[in-house]
Amino acid sequence: MPASITPRIPRVALLVETTRTYTRELLAGVKHYVAAHGPWSTFLELRSLDSSPPVWLRNWDGDGILTRTFTKETGELIDSTGLPAVELRSSNNAGKRPFVGMDNAHVGRAVAEHFFERGYRTFATYSLQNERFFVERVRNFVATVYSYGCPCWELPDTDSDSVADWEESQKRLVSWVANLPKPVGVFAANDQLGVRLLEACQRSGVSVPEEVAVVGAENEETLCGFATPALSSVRFDGHSVGYAAAELLDKLMVSGATGPSEILVPPRGIIVRGSSDELVITDPLVARAARLIRENALSGFSVKALCKKLNASRSTLDRRMKQALHRSPKEEIVRVRFREVERLLRETDLTIDTIALQTGFAHGEYLQAAFKQAYGKTPGAFRLHLKAKRRPQLKRRNPAGRRRD
């Protein structure tokens, strides 16, 4: 009786950087696909975007490649293997390889709509010109703005993500920001540019988001969270990109058939943070009040103290804030405090008592009661709900698997 032949498990190289939020989500999408339809033998190493291709790739006995190609050298090496490969970084880099990535038309349009819905009628964009996807994002942002009949100022930058001279770059940005008409909604083509822009606003004394609201793209959580204020950003759907790319590569490896030349995935909306979480404010008194609340609410700031700083009566301030923001001064103070409570529950393991102290509430019991009244659940239950949402929900794998010859 002849010995049975063990099916070959596909060998797949993942030439994907592991340094970004988006690419880690992308790899999670690949993993999800493999868990449901594999197994695969994957070759993955810690990489940055500009890492050299692995030396073993030229003579590697593999079956397929998923790549975010950064250099011409890497692209030529991948093509020389003759293996099925799917490009994940830019359709401009794909060559003959099919491309799976984000739909940049949706990115620019989503940001324009975000600003317009908040009342902005003056817009600007800060972009790079060195990549096709930056150009696409900005082009669609500007086109949407013009469809509203609104003006848009543009500052294209020829530098890469990394600035050679930070101070010189900031001088240029500070001058640009200072001369923009305000209030203005600014789209930064990626989060690195958004961080540069927020720093320029700080240096020039321009308030964010009262005078300049900023939204970036890619939702690089480390950058967005460290910015002051935290940067709003378009959240890319890396998981769906990774899953679709793995599915396409699987088909190419099994049948050798030519797949679609391009698969585009829309973003998952905008993660709204402090840099764009306000309605546009044209009333100067309300703009000053909103800024003072944002800067002082977490230290136990009261409406009485706010009125004193503004030299305004409570009735006047109440009337004008309700007219501009549809919220009273007290409601705005509580909103800012709860926004920080949510962030601390989501990002830290601090106790409720500590969170109360850091967000202007008198004590933990008061925070517990106020939070439950506002959210319908305790802070602890809210935190558990957030943790449950972050757990991956994988499809069940067919126990029989799939035979490969």
**DSSP string covering 127-147, please?**
EESSSHHHHHHHHHHHHHHHH
Domain co-membership, 232 together with 244: no
Pairing of strands 11-15, 64-67: parallel
CATH number of residue 22's parent domain? 3.40.50.2300
In a domain, 272, yes or no: no
Q: Whole-angstrom Cα distance, residue 363 to residue 356? A: 6
Inform me whether the pLDDT recorded for 240 exceeds 60.
yes
Domain co-membership, 114 together with 89: no
Q: Would you place residue 278 in the very low, low, confident or very high pLDDT band (cuts 50, 70, 90)?
A: confident
Inform me whether the pLDDT recorded for 93 exceeds 90.
no
Domain co-membership, 51 together with 196: no
Domain co-membership, 253 together with 355: no
Domain co-membership, 163 together with 246: no
Q: Whole-angstrom Cα distance, residue 66 to residue 208? A: 40
Percent of the chain at pLDDT exceeding 90: 62
In a domain, 274, yes or no: no
Q: Would you place residue 400 in the very low, low, confident or very high pLDDT band (cuts 50, 70, 90)?
A: very low
Q: Whole-angstrom Cα distance, residue 398 to residue 384? A: 31
Domain co-membership, 118 together with 222: yes
pLDDT for the residue numbered 131? 82
Inform me whether the pLDDT recorded for 144 exceeds 70.
yes
Domain co-membership, 73 together with 176: no
What is the torsion angle, in degrees rounded to the nearest 10, for the CA atoms of residue 213, residue 219, residue 220 and residue 226? 40
Q: Would you place residue 125 in the very low, low, confident or very high pLDDT band (cuts 50, 70, 90)?
A: very high
In a domain, 4, yes or no: no
Work out the mean pLDDT of the chain and round it to a whole number: 88
In a domain, 3, yes or no: no
- Reduced to 3 states (helix: H, G, I; strand: E, B; else coil), residue 18 is coil
Higher pLDDT, 165 or 260: 165
pLDDT for the residue numbered 121? 93
pLDDT for the residue numbered 8? 85
In a domain, 344, yes or no: yes
Q: Which domain holds residue 324?
A: 284-390
pLDDT for the residue numbered 396? 37
CATH number of residue 340's parent domain? 1.10.10.60
In a domain, 325, yes or no: yes
pLDDT for the residue numbered 356? 92
Interacting residues of 269 by C-beta distance below 8 A, sequence separation 6+? 110, 234, 235
Domain count along the chain: 3
Domain co-membership, 114 together with 232: yes
Q: What is the mean pLDDT of residues 92-115?
A: 87
Is residue 69 a contact partner of residue 210, using CB atoms and an 8 Å limit? no
Domain co-membership, 337 together with 293: yes
- Reduced to 3 states (helix: H, G, I; strand: E, B; else coil), residue 311 is coil
Q: Would you place residue 91 in the very low, low, confident or very high pLDDT band (cuts 50, 70, 90)?
A: confident
Least confident of 130-144, 275-289, 306-320: 275-289
Domain co-membership, 80 together with 158: no
Q: Which two tokens stand for residue 178?
A: 């200072």
Inform me whether the pLDDT recorded for 399 exceeds 60.
no
Indicate the angle between helix axes 104-117 and 132-147, nearest 10 degrees: 40
- Reduced to 3 states (helix: H, G, I; strand: E, B; else coil), residue 152 is strand
Ramachandran area for residue 16 (φ above 0: left; ψ -120 to 50: alpha; else beta):
beta
Inform me whether the pLDDT recorded for 318 exceeds 70.
yes
Inform me whether the pLDDT recorded for 28 exceeds 90.
yes
